[in-house]
Structure 1
Amino acid sequence: MKNIVVLISGSGSNLQAIMDACESGIIANAKVAAVFSNKADAYGLTRAKEAGITTEHLAASDFGDRETFDRALAAQIDQYQPDLVILAGYMRILSGEFVRHFAGKMINIHPSLLPKYTGLHTHQRAIDAGDREHGTSVHFVTEELDGGPVILQAKVLSSRMITPMTSWPGYKSKSTVSTRWLHTGAYSSVS
């Protein structure tokens, strides 16, 4: 059985998809061993606890600098002997030392069709650019922000230009389905 450690900062909707896929066998021979968050009030921690999964909270403010925090986080994660570390809405940039420590076994869920729109506010940037397609990527984490090799992508198309006033027709529901499929497929291929 392979161990997956998931890092989150928020509600844990992607975490829920990962837990469900492990439970149902879609992600075969794997379990979520632990969930870490940099936010004590992240609802994803509640989701994990309710599923009987160990949760950990480490606040960056409890450490002197980013490197010290990342070393402590890596040491805590190592206790679970992860085969795969998934950044599922983890809203903190990790140090090069941390990334190198988990090189080749850390993946990120990013809400754009990489290499387009790295970083934050990807949906708004797609709207502002008048894009007719948008999506989600799962990629290996490297020291370059959102620059690692892409494992899988899911695309959502619109028949017309998207504007902030019209929003993306059906984006929320199509995106959710595509994203859940994408995540489980990506994890299955690397776990």
Structure 2
Amino acid sequence: MTLKKVRTAILISGRGSNMQALVEAARAPDYPAEIVLIASNRPEAPGLAWAEAQGIKTLALDHTSYATRDAFEASLQEGLDAVGTEFVALAGFMRLMTPTFVKRWHDRMINIHPSLLPSFKGLHTHARAIAAGVRISGCTVHFVRPEMDEGPIIAQAAVPVLSSDTEASLAARILEAEHTIYPTALRLVTSDRTRREGEKVIISQDVNPSPTLYSPRE
């Protein structure tokens, strides 16, 4: 029997390395999501050119050309509807969504953040983690809620913070972890292997969504 794949759009603002990880994972015949659109709020985003080269439909919407956030999201929604989008994955999409848009995609939109939420929400996460002296950082995939970097956690990966780390070196190691857990999380939520109890995600017992990733010792 042919697997019915969930039609998924990915939203980016830059080079889209997590987008590429999701696209590569979705090439597998047994992967439950099909990437049907790559959309960006920045027409110059390098990730759009990569997606076009892969034969994936793209949509560029310059958010600065819209008078309001609602107007921008209306055009985005039109683009999502045009390809029959059923699920949305944010991959470095640097725009906060309005509560109306988030509600429309409730439990059908996920995001990846470069920290172990609820710690270090917002920007400059790696610099803040180093400044705080934490020994472990990482990344989190979560369902999107109207508040920034809020929502039920689907998967996390832990990465040690070394005394020798700079913001750049920590970011590079965490990005590797992101490329591992984001495809895993998307697989989980598009294959009915998760359910929610309140704002907590319950995952099938035979799945480990959050591998611990180790780096070389100092």
Would you say same fold, with TM above 0.5?
A: yes
Q: Which amino acid aligns with 1:187?
A: L
Match status 1:5 vs 2:9: yes
**Which whole-Å CA distance do the structure 2 matches of 1:67 and 1:96 have between them?**
10
Contact 1:131 1:161 in 2 (8 A): no
**Which whole-Å CA distance do the structure 2 matches of 1:46 and 1:173 have between them?**
23
Deviates more, 1:64-73 or 1:131-140: 64-73
TM-score by length of 2: 0.80
Structure 1 residue matching 2:107: 3-state secondary structure: coil
Structure 2 residue matching 1:124: 3-state secondary structure: helix
Matches within 5 A, 1:16-27: 16-25=20-29
Unaligned runs of 5+ in 2: 191-218
**Which whole-Å CA distance do the structure 2 matches of 1:182 and 1:135 have between them?**
11
Q: Which amino acid aligns with 1:6?
A: I
Match status 1:135 vs 2:141: no
Contact 1:40 1:57 in 2 (8 A): yes
User: How many residues were matched structurally?
Assistant: 186
Match status 1:57 vs 2:55: no
**Which whole-Å CA distance do the structure 2 matches of 1:173 and 1:12 have between them?**
14
TM-score by length of 1: 0.90
Q: Which amino acid aligns with 1:16?
A: Q
Aligned to 1:177: 176
Cα RMSD of the aligned pairs, angstroms, is 1.8
Counting aligned pairs with the same residue, the percent is: 37
Tell which has more relative contact order, 1 or 2 (C-alpha 8 A, sep 6+): 1
Matches within 5 A, 1:1-191: 1-25=5-29, 28-158=31-161, 160-161=162-163, 166-167=165-166, 171=170, 174-191=173-190
Q: Which amino acid aligns with 1:92?
A: R
**Which whole-Å CA distance do the structure 2 matches of 1:62 and 1:52 have between them?**
27
**Which whole-Å CA distance do the structure 2 matches of 1:11 and 1:123 have between them?**
19
Structure 1 residue matching 2:156: 3-state secondary structure: strand
